[in-house]
Amino acid sequence: MGIVYFDQDRVFKLDTPHTSYLIGIVDEDNFVGHIYYGRRLTDYGLTNFLRTNEPPFVPSVNNRERISFLDAFPMEYPTHGIGDYRESAFRVRSKGGHRACVLSYVSHEIFAGKKKIPGLPTSFAKEGECSTLRLTCQDKCLGLSVVLNYSVFEDVDVIARSVEVHNMGTDGIMLQKVASMSLDMDNRDFEMITLHGAWARERHVEKRRLGTGFQGVASRRGEPGHQDHPFMALATAGTTQEHGEVYGVQLMYSGNFEIRAEVSQYTSVRWQAGIESEDFGWMLAPGEYFYAPEALLTYSFAGIDGMTACYHDFIRKHVIRGKYKNSKRPILINNWEATYFDFNTEKLLSIAKEASGLGIEMLVMDDGWFGKRNSDNSSLGDWQVNEEKLSGGLAHLVNEVNKLGMKFGIWFEPEMISPDSELYRKHPDWAIAVPGREPSQAREQLVLDFSREEVVEGIWEQMEAILRGANIEYVKWDMNRPLCDLGSALLTPEKQGELPHRYMLGVYELQERLVTQFPDILLENCSGGGARFDAGMMYYSPQIWCSDDTDAIERLAIQEGTAMIYPLSTMGAHVSDCPNHAVGRTTPFETRGYVALAGTFGYELDVTRIPEKDREEIPRQTALYHKYNDLIREGDYYRIASASENHAFDCWQVVSKDKKESLVTCVQVLASPSRRSRIIRLKGLDETKRYRVEGEETVLYGDSLMYGGIQIHNLKGDFAGKLIHLISE
């Protein structure tokens, strides 16, 4: 078991394959302190790291300086209002209006496996793969119990942390902040790595030195959003892809979040992740529980590549579920950029007939098939087939597509409602809004109040009828606007702060129904592109639409940032038409295919109208997908070069787990005169194996390819791409 408690020293030692995490119980007040997190250790007796052997000492020795102690001690889960003036992980307001809270250790439990968090996505493990520490703390004055959960995995260097709160008292308590994790440690000249962007420009990597005070990322949009991402890494100075120490945290949650780091007066770092606290308030009645979402911690001493490998393996093994967990996904063609709202049965069948002969395996019907939906200004919430468009009905269309040997998929936006809809006219109170205030629209739509069971049930009944009425094998779940004007017609005034989190619980409930009652359906999440691309969504869907920007060159940066922490198999990526609909750029059809191969792979175009030369390329691309997808989906990913940094050349590599095969993808973003061929150094190969470059006579040992390199030539012109396939002899 990876967790041991040393009773005499009152130290918990948590070990993953290559890391250790140490917690200590200190003084008569049973403060819970953080001792160490990093490379795996043999020793556990490192309580000197708590610095209780130096002034101001612990309160039992020097109570006159209790505040000085509290404001410097490395708290494992710090609270508000008692003299620790750094950022608290836990804030409350009592019936009397007071906000002070003191949490003291009272007991613990260590057991094999881990428990599911009620109502929330939760990482999981098979028997023997995981052990859990439940560390219970109490504020006896408030009658409050807080359990800190730590699940340690045997096969990957990840620690999953979560928190549950139990009101054992006789009065209600308002929870104002419940972080999922907090970590105090010395600042080692850390650099902060985050993912930022905008619509169609998601998850661009940003690195900057960690400075004094507060810094971090957050969202109040009811979703993580395009702008920030529920992830942060702290890297030691000089860290590269291969070298240096990296601490990573990502939140397994799809709503409002905050991840912040604070550098204190003593140059220590307090690092926290959890539900965003500004719009959060939860009235916890006597006897009730509150559960915070899971935070996924990792530590790498092998640079960013090491962190990436941990997160990729963890998400593939311990987050993604269902039929497609370890399976190849069908190559799909989506009609959105081909037709937008202007389609009918005949048009869709013409696309399907052409696509089926080119190796494409699924037709996905996007927005516009329901209600009176001929533009984006009506009908969300009216999930009935528009038979003026789909003559003969949905089942007829699906049957005709199936006769072509293709699967059929469909688009929904279940969380939204149009003011111009039958549902809104019948149930205007189902929309999130503040009484007496006109709600702000986006894309001429409002958000349904999924904190209400009857709203979730009403949408589910419509979706279920559609899904049972035809042979639908894929669902694209979209969400095209953030939340605002937070108000629920059902919640009492003291509970209005619960709306954003209750809304997210309703979304999770509906997605759980979908994947449970239709286990063979492939669910792909989407939120205006990549605004809700997170590990929480991956618990329900094995893939997420990466971005509405399908331009191959823009996708290089988007997919680089995404692949830093998520497996390639989760990234929805398509070949689209040119000039690209988002940026107007024209890139070679071949290069568009190479970039899309790094994700789920599909098409977003009118295959009946593209140039014949491009159409003839599709069978080659679909063949490449079938040839390489197992490797791309299951292999280890390495970043070789970043066009975001060098502005000229992008390159990544995937290596099979047995190191017998590797695929290298290169894209030249900017051609340059007076330049010879490139030499790139590969990664992850077996030094002792000989590798043959497919299609060439080149045969080299793995050490030569990694430490000497391989020559890249014949990249002529901007946006030229190339695949290099290596097979061990």
The pLDDT, as a whole number, for residue 674 is 58
Pick the last residue of a domain from 616, 634, 652.
Answer: 634
Shared domain for 472 and 560, answered yes or no, is: yes
Q: Please tell me which residue in 15, 139, 449, 478 is annotated as part of the active site.
A: 478
Shared domain for 235 and 273, answered yes or no, is: yes
Average pLDDT, the chain: 96
Asked whether the predicted pLDDT for residue 673 surpasses 80, the reply is no
Residue 327 lies in a domain: no
Pick the last residue of a domain from 596, 613, 634.
Answer: 634
Q: Please tell me which residue in 184, 367, 548, 636 is annotated as part of the active site.
A: 548
Query: Predicted confidence band at 55 (pLDDT cuts at 50, 70, 90)?
Result: very high
Residue 179 lies in a domain: yes
Higher-pLDDT residue of 714 and 535 is 535
Distance CA 557, CA 711 (A): 24
Shared domain for 408 and 535, answered yes or no, is: yes
Residue 324 lies in a domain: no
Query: Predicted confidence band at 191 (pLDDT cuts at 50, 70, 90)?
Result: very high
Query: HSE-up of 627 (CA within 13 Å, CB side)?
Result: 15
The pLDDT, as a whole number, for residue 35 is 98
How does pLDDT run across 446-490, given as a tens digit for each residue? 999 999 999 999 999 999 999 999 999 999 999 999 999 999 999
Shared domain for 668 and 601, answered yes or no, is: no
478 is known as an active-site residue: yes
The encoded tokens of residue 317 equal: 């093994």
Do 114 and 299 touch, CB atoms closer than 8 A?
A: no
The encoded tokens of residue 60 equal: 């039992």
How does pLDDT run across 125-156, given as a tens digit for each residue? 999 999 999 999 999 999 999 999 999 999 99
Query: Predicted confidence band at 237 (pLDDT cuts at 50, 70, 90)?
Result: very high
Shared domain for 418 and 528, answered yes or no, is: yes
What is the pTM for the complete model shown? 0.97
Mean pLDDT over 66-77 rounds to 96
Pick the last residue of a domain from 583, 605, 634.
Answer: 634
Residue 616 lies in a domain: yes
Query: Predicted confidence band at 1 (pLDDT cuts at 50, 70, 90)?
Result: confident
The encoded tokens of residue 8 equal: 């005499």
Q: What is the DSSP secondary-structure string of 152-192?
A: EESSSSEEEEEEEEEE-SSS-EEEEEEEEEEEEEE--S-EE
CATH number at residue 344: 3.20.20.70
Query: Predicted confidence band at 231 (pLDDT cuts at 50, 70, 90)?
Result: very high
How does pLDDT run across 315-343, given as a tens digit for each residue? 999 999 999 999 999 999 999 999 999 99
How does pLDDT run across 536-553, given as a tens digit for each residue? 999 999 999 999 999 999
- 559's enclosing H/E stretch is helix 552-563
Residue 323 lies in a domain: no
Shared domain for 630 and 646, answered yes or no, is: no
Residue 340 lies in a domain: yes
Asked whether the predicted pLDDT for residue 235 surpasses 70, the reply is yes
Shared domain for 221 and 351, answered yes or no, is: no
% of the chain exceeding 70 in pLDDT? 100
Shared domain for 310 and 340, answered yes or no, is: no
Give the domain extent around 710: 640-728
Domains held by the chain: number: 3
Shared domain for 706 and 622, answered yes or no, is: no
Distance CA 379, CA 423 (A): 8
Three-state DSSP class for 274?
Answer: strand
Shared domain for 391 and 503, answered yes or no, is: yes
Distance CA 589, CA 550 (A): 12
3-state helix, strand, coil in the chain (%, to 5): 25, 30, 45
Shared domain for 71 and 142, answered yes or no, is: yes
157 is known as an active-site residue: no
317, 518, 557, 567 from 305: Cα distances, Å: 18, 36, 17, 13
Q: Which of 436, 643, 657, 450 shows the shortest CA–CA distance to 552?
A: 643
How does pLDDT run across 642-651, given as a tens digit for each residue? 999 999 999 9
How does pLDDT run across 352-391, given as a tens digit for each residue? 999 999 999 999 999 999 999 999 999 999 999 999 999 9
CATH number at residue 647: 2.60.40.1180
DSSP type of residue 439 = P
Shared domain for 646 and 532, answered yes or no, is: no
